[in-house]
Amino acid sequence: MATGRIVIIEDEADIVEVMSYNLSREGFDVFAYSDGESGRKGVRERMPDLVLLDLMLPEMDGLEVCRRIRESRRTARIPVIMVTAKGEESDLVLGLGMGADDYITKPFSPKELVARVKAVLRRAEREGSEGIGEPLERGGIIVDPERHEVCVDGEPVDFTRAEFLLLYALIAHPGRVFSRQILIERIGDGSIVADRTIDVHINSIRKKLGSHRDRVETIRGVGYKFIDSP
Ligand code: CA
């Protein structure tokens, strides 16, 4: 039996029912909210292991709820799966840019839902157990936050503070799309940073990664992601 707490934010009662039934049966504790505002509060109260977040919601839409979850230090690391209807793909990309971990498209089968939830939880657990401060290794690139060191194919490479923080954020969550705004928050030194500044840092990071440069991928109109396998 799985254990863990899941918050569902979804306004369609029949979908909530399918989700609740199947996730409860797997052993999860499920809490459902039918609009964005109460859902956002619910996440803060329940501190779940995962959030299933519908895109089109009354009061506050899913993108905004996702942004708020990521913005708060307390809830920033809670995995979010976006639930979208067919044809909402452009919004979907934006959702990933807001820091969602994965998405599922309606209509979905209960089996698909449970598999997706478990996969994201496993990934989050693995990332969590790496802990903050542990060196991360991704196919030839090692980032060690304690020593502030980056090694590319065994060779140490000098990174500035901002470059280091950006690379660390990207590499800690391979495949997750980061918007420029979220990356600006990661540098977080209180100064006003323009979107363009992030692009300049990213160009510099790519140069320093040498043959691994293409693993930092540009998502047009949204931001950047890191590709796990070279
Ligand atoms: Ca909806």
Which pLDDT tens digit goes with each residue over 189-213? 555 566 777 888 899 999 999 999 9
- CB burial of 125-144 (b: ≥16 within 10 Å; e: otherwise) equals eebeeeeeeeebebeebbbb
Q: Which residue has the higher pLDDT, 174 or 134?
A: 174
pTM above 0.85, yes or no: no
Cα(103) to centroid(ligand 1), Å: 14
* Top-ranked range on mean pLDDT: pick from 73-87, 113-127, 141-155, 175-189: 141-155
Residue ranges, comma separated, of all CATH 3.40.50.2300 domains in the chain are 4-129
Measured in Å, residue 220 CA sits from the centre of ligand 1 at: 27
Q: How would CATH label the architecture of 136-226? A: Orthogonal Bundle (1.10)
Q: What is the mean pLDDT of the chain?
A: 86
- Evaluate whether 224 touches 199 at the Cβ level (below 8 Å): no
Confidence of residue 91 (pLDDT cuts 50, 70, 90): low
Nearest Cα to Cα of residue 27 among 45, 65, 1 = 1
User: What distance in Å separates the CA atoms of residue 16 and residue 32, rounded to the nearest whole number?
Assistant: 7
- Residue 34 CA to ligand 1 centre (angstroms): 9
Question: Residue 87 Cα, ligand 1 centroid: separation in angstroms?
Answer: 13
Summarised one tens digit per residue, pLDDT across range 138-164 is 999 999 887 889 999 999 999 887 888
Q: What is the mean pLDDT of residues 35-59?
A: 95
Residues less than 5 Å from ion ligand 1, measured at CB: 11, 54, 56
Topology of the domain comprising 4-129: Rossmann fold (3.40.50)
Reply yes or no on whether the pLDDT at 43 is more than 80: yes
Q: How far is the CA of 41 from the centre of ligand 1 (A)?
A: 18
Cα dihedral sign for 195, 57, 225, 86?
negative
Residue 135: predicted pLDDT: 85
CA of 189 to the centre of ligand 1 (A): 37
Ranges for all domains in the chain classified under CATH 1.10.10.10: 136-226
Confidence at 35, pLDDT banded by 50, 70, 90: very high
- 221 CA to centre of ligand 1 in angstroms: 25
